[in-house]
Structure 1
Amino acid sequence: MLLARRKKSNCQNCHYPLLENYSYCPNCGQENSDKLVSFTTLAAEVVNNYIAYDSRLGRTIIPFLFKPGLLTNEFIAGKRIKYMHPLRLYFIVSFFYFLIFSIVVSSQINVNEPAFRFGGDVKVPSADSLNREIGNEISTGLLESEALSGEEKHIADSIVKNLPKSQVVVPEKTDTGAVIRSGEKDVNLDKLVKTPGITPEQILDSLDQEKSWLNLLLAKQGIKLANEKGNTIVNYLISKASLMMFLLLPFFALILKLFYIRTKRLYIEHIIFTLHIHTFLFFILSVALLIDYFWPNGLIFTLSGILVFVYFLLSFRSVYHQGWFKTLLKMFILFISYAFSFSVFMVITIILSLLLF
């Protein structure tokens, strides 16, 4: 429903005279309305639009959850007004999925920890472990000595038992960072990139590296990443992952087109099917993440995996109308192809995202 128009006798753009039944100016094409309506009219329009979408959503939920493949078949058959558009449904569900995923992941990250550390903790034996090791070596050396008589071994054993404990405190671990060799010196890369005010050129000079555009870019991004908080980087990567998934959809639909090329289906039909199954996948993952967040239990993800597999199997059967064996075989090959494609897309996304951060 269009907003109620208040028509004018002249075009507000070119001042061309208009008749009462003109909705658009025949001279310039501008709509014959000043767009200024009462608040009541505007509110009624919003409510009507909401009710329209709400009724579509209500008619979509049941077949979406419990009738795999039906929404795809209905859309292909031309029944597109009755249900929510597949693209709109995908955007809504995927938005909530990545929002929930971001919250869950961020809750497990120490906001005070840096996003990247070039190197890690090096474990050093504690004082107690050193005392035990030294004591064992001494006692073994003394007690196994063939030069000692029985009485001397008894005295040596009592001495070992009464050895004083070391008063030296040894740290259990130390953060050394990655140390690389540059010419005649060792450079701590983690400390280098975290040096206040350091520039990419100075980093490359310290590492004796050529100042090419790629090296300068890597050094610049290294400084940014090393000094950024972990949750910031995670949320940034998740936002890019949502875009990556959307770009992956037409690629997966193309794979479906190749697998079912004999069915003579249009590419758009595979797109619609891809949207529906990915929407269901995101919906189940969202529910699983929420349940696991409040009631941690790894079993929920196992059950979710089984549910998604069954849903996908029934969806493929319903849409492509092939036998169980052929459907299972194609699903298996598709899964391998999808996993490989997903990995490639993800690696490219992470690399580009970190380079452009």
Structure 2
Amino acid sequence: MKAKQNTCQNCDQPYDDGFRFCPHCGQKTNDELTLGVLFYNTISNYFSFDARFFKSFIPLMTKPGYLAKEFIKGKRLLYLHPAQMYLFVAVIFFFIFNIYVREGREVLDKNMQGVLDSRYERIQAMDSLKAKDSIEVNRYLDPIKNKELVYGLDEDDIKVVDSLSKIKIPKKDLNTSFSFNEKEMDSLIALGKTDEELYSYMGMSDDAGYFERKFYAQGLKFYKTMGLGQIYQTFIDSIPLAMFFLLPIFALLLKLFFYNKGRYAHHLVFSFYYFSFLFVVFSLVFGLNRLLPIPDWIDWLIAMSTFFYLLIAIIKFYGQNWFLSFIKSGLVSFLFLLFVLPLSVSILGVIAFFFY
């Protein structure tokens, strides 16, 4: 009796019923796509990059939604795994992107150094005045406090000495804007006040917890070093990690708007390929601008084209009409760009400030 024949979902070749793996291509015969299977394939295939990338690259760029649809259908060995594709192009993108980051940090560091030099000169002048007049302060301070007549100092000299004796650290309510007087702060630094005293002047409460104390410590560090470039670099270095959270959130938005169009893992596959497309496009834009500056209107046109790519990909992947797909893709993009992305940038900014 002839055995029952099945057809492999990946290579479309027949095989006998009961086989666990296809005898032609090696793919599992019962490989239902779940979230666990998706990430298992990611780990097992991570170090097996081969010619499948070149088979996948042209469809990725010219056939929106095609690779994701083929992967869901079962063709998981013919093309590069979506997560592997994403990781590969992300490395290339951030390599190119970091070239621009380095140049941007150099500009920030140069500007901040000018501010820092000016402040340093002011503090040095105050420190020099304090050293020069230290003996005079000790000699004349008590008579000034007692309102006695002082010989050898004119009215302006008395004001200078008196001002040195009256510098205090005022108590303030918690103020996270650092809206203190810079000249007063520089005077305190010139007088050698401790960090704790400076925190108090900046507004830190006496019973400050870890996060409040850390906030003021970083604020003082920033004031002394003007480390905007360091914060900027820390922010940029956090972006690749943030993308591993943003992409699943994008997939979750797709799941909400296409809740009856498959498991969450299906939407995650679509997101991997779409973000891979985005990284390729912006890598090309940054690379071309590096070699030959492109007019801004062309850059914006290319950026806008990524939305139409998303629209076409959604139409083909989810099989809905163009009008409904346009509404849903517009809402997904709106929510992601106007809510998820700004919130993520804010969180990254806080992390960069606290840990630069």
Please give the residue correspondences for 1:58-137 in structure 2 after superposition, counting only pairs within 5 Å.
Answer: 58-108=54-104, 109-110=106-107, 111-114=109-112
Q: CA RMSD for the aligned pairs?
A: 3.4
Determine helix, strand or coil for the equivalent of 1:54.
Answer: coil
Residue 85 of structure 1 and its aligned partner are, at CA, apart by 1.3
Determine helix, strand or coil for the equivalent of 1:262.
Answer: coil
Structure 1 stretches of 4+ with a deviation exceeding 3 A read 49-52, 111-118, 181-200, 223-226, 228-232
Equivalent pairs: percent with the same residue?
A: 27
Residue 228 of structure 1 and its aligned partner are, at CA, apart by 5.7
Please give the residue correspondences for 1:212-251 in structure 2 after superposition, counting only pairs within 5 Å.
Answer: 212-213=208-209, 214-226=211-223, 227=225, 229-251=227-249
> Counterpart of 1:356?
355
Quickly say closer, same or farther: Cα 1:112–1:304, change in 2 above 3 A: same
Check whether the contact 2:255–2:264 (CA below 8 A) recurs between aligned residues: yes
Quickly say closer, same or farther: Cα 1:223–1:183, change in 2 above 3 A: closer
Quickly say closer, same or farther: Cα 1:261–1:290, change in 2 above 3 A: same
Which residues of structure 2 form unaligned runs of 5+?
A: 1-44, 120-168, 173-179
Check whether the contact 2:93–2:282 (CA below 8 A) recurs between aligned residues: yes
Quickly say closer, same or farther: Cα 1:217–1:78, change in 2 above 3 A: same
Determine helix, strand or coil for the equivalent of 1:233.
Answer: helix
Quickly say closer, same or farther: Cα 1:193–1:281, change in 2 above 3 A: farther
> Counterpart of 2:202?
207
Paired amino acid for 2:251: A
Paired amino acid for 1:342: L
Residue 219 of structure 1 and its aligned partner are, at CA, apart by 1.7
Q: Which has the higher contact order (CA 8 A, sep 6+)?
A: 2
> Counterpart of 2:344?
345
Paired amino acid for 1:289: F
> Counterpart of 1:255?
253
Residue 70 of structure 1 and its aligned partner are, at CA, apart by 1.0
Distance in 2, matches of 1:92 and 1:98, equals 10
Residue 294 of structure 1 and its aligned partner are, at CA, apart by 2.9
Residue 290 of structure 1 and its aligned partner are, at CA, apart by 1.8
> Counterpart of 2:154?
none
Distance in 1, matches of 2:190 and 2:259, equals 58
Residue 353 of structure 1 and its aligned partner are, at CA, apart by 2.8
TM-score scaled to structure 1, two decimals?
A: 0.61
Check whether the contact 1:112–1:229 (CA below 8 A) recurs between aligned residues: no
Quickly say closer, same or farther: Cα 1:200–1:115, change in 2 above 3 A: farther
Q: Does 1:53 pair with 2:52?
A: no
Distance in 1, matches of 2:240 and 2:185, equals 31
Check whether the contact 1:56–1:83 (CA below 8 A) recurs between aligned residues: yes
Determine helix, strand or coil for the equivalent of 1:83.
Answer: coil
Which residues of structure 1 form unaligned runs of 5+?
A: 1-48, 122-180
Which is further off, 291-300 or 250-259?
Answer: 291-300
Check whether the contact 1:101–1:286 (CA below 8 A) recurs between aligned residues: yes
TM-score scaled to structure 2, two decimals?
A: 0.61
Quickly say closer, same or farther: Cα 1:238–1:51, change in 2 above 3 A: closer
